[in-house]
Amino acid sequence: MGAPRVPWQLKFVALAVIWGSSFLLMKVGLDDLHPVQIVALRIFLATATLLVLLPLSGGRLPTGRRVWLHLFICSIFLTVIPFTGFVTGEVYVSSALAGIGNATTPIATVLCALAILPSETLTRRKLLAVGLGFVGVLVIAEPWNLDGRPHPLGFALVVLAASSYGLGWTYNRRTLADADLGGLAQPTAMLLCGSIAMVPVLLGWWLLSPQNPSAPWSPAPAGELSDAYPMWLSIGAVVALGVIGTGIAYAFQFDVVRAAGPVVSSTVTYVIPMVSVLLGVLVLGERLGGAQLVGFVIVLTAALLVNRVPRRQVATEPARSR
């Protein structure tokens, strides 16, 4: 087999840029669309993208009622809840701060694993990392600063969204570890389930919305930047979020995991908030306070510490096939 046309290192960088820019794209999309519309369009477009890429990669959708039941539950925690939490949170907080909230995912994953996976044990390193992460979140939230702190609800929503990823992936490990879900089968199936789940959510929002849009896809701005961008730009941002930021990104992630292994692939989590902060500041003119920057460093340190593989484990772990 010949060498891949695009090195995995470039796809890793592309993943960091794509996922890091997703927070900016959500913020721009809020100029003309409601969070529920953005989530629905994002999932529908990502599903369509992966349904095209799946057969091209030689894959196929999984089979079995049990597998699909667990995939549907995973899709709630890995697509519907986090996508909704992040974009709704950005109604109240900056895209940069939402990206920082994403850095809490590894910490939440450890807590969920300790609660759900019998094989997980609480080590001193994990305990220190979780405690440090809690301190970082507290510093970012600034509960002692009633005037200049981030919006409490907005920041809580982005942390909840990040925590949902941790719960979803832990549930995935617990229930689908023995399932044959290689290649793009799992992300395609999960997004397909997410699309099914979003149909009643979108219709319910449309029927009950106080904004009374004429159709589920009619413009219904919810962000603080209303009328800041032309509608084509807001819609284009959400289209890019779905096709590239979710669909293509999942395909890239699969290639990176296959080439470099899951440990290396997971480190992209640490780069994403850095990209989101840079784009938020440079493109949208957002500003972060000193407490948010200090808290970000603390949370990032905790995330690095909690995912660090002990030297002894690295030395005894068998080499992975590439």
CA atoms within 13 A of residue 314's CA, in its CB half-sphere: 7
Backbone dihedral region for residue 64 (phi beyond 0: left; psi -120 to 50: alpha; all else: beta): left
Q: How far is CA 89 from CA 23, 34, 150, 288, in A?
A: 10, 12, 11, 16
Residues in the chain: 322
Stretch (H or E) spanning 164: helix 152-176
- CA 197 from chain centre, in angstroms, equals 18
DSSP 8-state secondary structure symbol assigned to residue 147: T
**Confidence category of residue 257, pLDDT binned at 50, 70, 90:** confident
Q: Is 289 exposed, middle or buried (0-12, 13-18, 19+ CB in 10 A)?
A: middle
Summarised one tens digit per residue, pLDDT across range 209-219 is 877 788 888 88
**Rg of the Cα trace of the chain?**
20
**Cβ-proximal residues to 286 (8 Å cutoff; 6+ apart), any chain:** 94, 95, 96, 97, 280
* pLDDT (mean) for 137-145: 89
Per-residue model confidence (pLDDT) at position 263? 61
Please give the Cα distance from 185 to 74 (Å, whole number): 14
- The position carrying tokens 């159709």 is 215
**Confidence category of residue 177, pLDDT binned at 50, 70, 90:** confident
* pLDDT (mean) for 251-269: 76
Percent of the chain's residues with pLDDT above 90: 56
Q: How far is CA 127 from CA 114, 116, 280, in A?
A: 11, 16, 32
209 against 308, higher pLDDT: 209
> Measuring CA to CA, which residue among 38, 41, 17, 19 is closest to residue 102?
19
Please give the Cα distance from 153 to 89 (Å, whole number): 7
Structure token pair of residue 293: 């920057």
Please state the pTM of the whole predicted model: 0.89
Q: Is 310 helix (H, G, I), strand (E, B) or coil?
A: coil
| Cβ(50)–Cβ(191) below 8 Å | yes
